[in-house]
């Protein structure tokens, strides 16, 4: 029969190596191995699109902090009186609020990604201007205002969380120094027993962040993401993490300050009421993306073969269509040639799906922009006549602006997930010109247009409401583009650009119509794997095909 200490967790100077204590340690060890293995898998796949969009550094930092606190809760019963009150105070005042604060910041990522994707519904070419090269004024307020004006929404939110963390640390330090429970020569409170030390006003700030996150910010976030229908179950993951943490704070307060919980506290300490929520947060936050990565990798090899075979048959002049199985008992049909047909035709419905559900709008946008660039190239050189040099410079400027808005990290607002070797190739072609064009310039571009037809004028009102824009976008068609005058597609060779920094710039010899081909093929493969193969399973796609 398993021995159980009748006194349980009584703050005595002995270790509780009974059956329950051994079970706690064993569970903590096994669970920690699983947790760190999952962290390793996530980190190893950090460049995968499914994980990259989740801000993996922030995710792992928050979970590692929380896991330290989880392990200390499991060990508290075994340590018994050897677990000092001041040590528990710092664990609860640092690891729990800091971990929750960072977790709160990364939980906003779904909302921020969804908002940024919704802005891609319109084919607006824009890029961030580079910071001035001249010395900045020494006034910190000016520098801060300049940084705040150019930073991302995610960075601003992380700044708020960082300020809260600093404030939490200052408050905890002040409380620790002024309370006699922790410092013998302090001026506030009285010396108490080990058990009573865990009660009092000193502990209130340690759970404020957890309470605010689960009971205020969490429900607000659930409300804001209620309309998101992503294919990665990211919304479900976020809801699970928030709901699982709801009972933690009330149960801890009841267990710590109510004498009726004394029999329970002997074997399940008050802080242990945080465990169900924290473990759920860890497993859900790591488990959902790992499942998605495994799901994508199962189909990756088959998809790659499909694209290669389609490209070969296309070059040979043979029509070709290939079905790809998803790895489950049901066979999913994903015709590679249909993606190419969609990109050259009516892509509006697919593009809205990429922005609102697959969160790959920047990749699809890049494919459309490259095709538009090549169309412009063919037409401008067909009618350029004696102005070939001017035509080449006009198309080079258009290519540089694609590079600035979608490839170059310091300026790209919607950066594509391109292979590093391809990134370096584009850098060699466009970086020098891009730096000239983006330095001290407003984040605007001359190469813009509607996402439905890159050479047409915008056809819809740009409402501030994201859902209205997506609904309007979904109802559009590309038929207007086919009726457009061909001259609308041509870059204006006589366009006057004020203070043009590319005048006299030597265009690299490697620049040509196919300068984006490597990136196009790479991104097209990603779009097919991550978006198109899911799009063909939707009812909307089936309805469109049946028309």
**Residues 6 or more apart from 503 whose CB is under 8 A from it?**
none
The verdict on residue 143 lying in a domain is no
275 lies in the same domain as 333: no
203 lies in the same domain as 344: no
365 lies in the same domain as 264: no
The verdict on residue 96 lying in a domain is yes
Residue position matching structure tokens 């609102």:
356
Cβ neighbour number for residue 36 with a 10 Å cutoff = 12
Q: Which domain holds residue 478?
A: 321-546
How far is residue 210's CA from residue 248's CA, in Å, rounded to a whole number? 8
79 lies in the same domain as 208: yes
Cβ neighbour number for residue 447 with a 10 Å cutoff = 21
46 lies in the same domain as 193: yes
pLDDT, tens digit, 9 for 90 and up, residues 87-141: 888 888 889 889 998 998 899 999 999 988 888 876 566 777 776 654 555 556 6
The verdict on residue 127 lying in a domain is no
The CATH number of the domain holding residue 267 is 1.20.1070
| The dihedral sign for the CA sequence 21, 22, 28, 31 | negative
How far is residue 192's CA from residue 2's CA, in Å, rounded to a whole number? 34
The verdict on residue 42 lying in a domain is yes
The verdict on residue 131 lying in a domain is no
The verdict on residue 389 lying in a domain is yes
Q: Indicate the residue among 277, 295, 313 that finishes a domain.
A: 295
3-class secondary structure, 360: coil
268 lies in the same domain as 172: yes
Number of residues assigned to the chain: 547
Q: Indicate the residue among 295, 312, 340 that finishes a domain.
A: 295
The verdict on residue 495 lying in a domain is yes
Percent of the chain with pLDDT over 70: 75
123 contacts 481 by C-beta, under 8 angstroms = no
74 contacts 25 by C-beta, under 8 angstroms = yes
Nearest to 369 by CA among 280, 451, 274, 489: 451
389 lies in the same domain as 526: yes
345 lies in the same domain as 207: no
Nearest to 402 by CA among 412, 394, 410, 393: 412
pLDDT, tens digit, 9 for 90 and up, residues 174-215: 888 888 777 766 556 556 666 677 777 888 888 887 888 889
381 lies in the same domain as 500: yes
pLDDT, tens digit, 9 for 90 and up, residues 244-274: 999 998 999 899 888 899 899 999 999 999 9
Query: Looking at residue 427, what is its pLDDT?
Result: 92
How many domains are there within the chain?
2
390 lies in the same domain as 284: no
Token pair, residue 41, equals: 């898998």
271 lies in the same domain as 366: no
How far is residue 381's CA from residue 208's CA, in Å, rounded to a whole number? 65
333 lies in the same domain as 260: no
The verdict on residue 217 lying in a domain is yes
Mean pLDDT of the chain: 79
380 contacts 395 by C-beta, under 8 angstroms = yes
Average pLDDT for residues 318-342, to the nearest whole number? 55
**Residues 6 or more apart from 382 whose CB is under 8 A from it?**
none
């Amino acid at each position: 029969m398993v021995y159980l200490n009748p006194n349980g967790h009584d703050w005595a100077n002995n270790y509780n190596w009974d059956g329950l204590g051994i079970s706690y340690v064993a569970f903590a060890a096994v669970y920690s191995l699983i947790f760190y293995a999952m962290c390793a898998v996530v980190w190893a796949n950090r460049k995968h699109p499914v994980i990259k969009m989740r801000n993996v550094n922030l995710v792992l930092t928050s979970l590692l902090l929380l896991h330290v606190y989880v392990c200390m809760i499991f060990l508290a019963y075994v340590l018994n009186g050897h677990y000092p009150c001041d040590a528990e105070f710092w664990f609860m005042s640092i690891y729990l609020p800091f971990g929750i604060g960072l977790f709160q910041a990364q939980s906003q990522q779904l909302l921020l990604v969804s908002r940024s994707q919704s802005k891609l519904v319109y084919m607006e070419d824009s890029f961030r201007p580079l910071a001035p090269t001249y010395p900045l004024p020494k006034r910190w307020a000016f520098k801060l205002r300049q940084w705040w004006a150019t930073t991302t929404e995610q960075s601003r939110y992380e700044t708020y969380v960082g300020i809260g963390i600093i404030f939490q640390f200052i408050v905890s330090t002040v409380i620790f120094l002024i309370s006699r429970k922790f410092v013998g020569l302090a001026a506030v409170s009285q010396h108490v027993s080990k058990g009573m030390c865990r009660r009092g006003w000193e502990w209130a700030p340690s759970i404020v962040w957890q309470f605010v996150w689960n009971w205020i910010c969490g429900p607000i976030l659930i409300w804001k993401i209620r309309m998101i229908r992503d294919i990665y179950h990211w919304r479900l993951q976020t809801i699970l993490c928030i709901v699982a943490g709801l009972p933690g704070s009330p149960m801890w307060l009841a267990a710590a300050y109510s004498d009726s919980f004394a029999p329970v506290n002997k074997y399940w300490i008050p802080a242990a009421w945080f465990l169900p929520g924290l473990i759920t947060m860890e497993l859900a936050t790591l488990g959902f993306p790992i499942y998605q990565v495994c799901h994508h990798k199962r189909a990756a090899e088959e998809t790659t073969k499909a694209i290669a075979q389609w490209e070969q048959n296309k070059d040979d002049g043979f029509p070709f269509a290939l079905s790809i199985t998803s790895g489950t008992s049901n066979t999913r049909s994903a015709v590679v040639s249909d993606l190419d047909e969609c990109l050259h035709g009516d892509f509006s419905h697919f593009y809205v799906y990429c922005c609102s559900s697959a969160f790959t709008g920047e990749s699809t946008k890049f494919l459309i922009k490259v095709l538009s660039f090549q169309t412009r190239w063919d037409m401008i050189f067909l009618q350029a006549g004696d102005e070939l040099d001017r035509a080449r410079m006009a198309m080079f400027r258009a290519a540089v602006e694609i590079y600035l808005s979608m490839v170059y990290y310091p300026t790209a607002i919607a950066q594509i997930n391109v292979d590093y070797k391809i990134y370096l190739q584009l850098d060699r072609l466009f970086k020098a010109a891009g730096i000239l064009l983006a330095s001290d310039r407003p984040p605007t571009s001359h190469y813009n247009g509607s996402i439905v037809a890159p050479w047409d004028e915008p056809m819809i009102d740009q409402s501030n409401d994201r859902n209205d824009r997506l609904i309007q976008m979904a109802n559009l068609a590309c038929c207007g583009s086919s009726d457009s005058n061909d001259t609308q597609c041509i870059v204006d060779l006589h366009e006057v650009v004020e203070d043009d920094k590319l005048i006299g710039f030597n265009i690299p010899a490697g620049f040509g119509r196919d300068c984006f081909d490597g990136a196009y093929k790479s991104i097209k493969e990603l779009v097919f794997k991550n978006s198109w193969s899911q799009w063909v399973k939707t009812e909307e796609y089936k309805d469109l095909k049946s028309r």
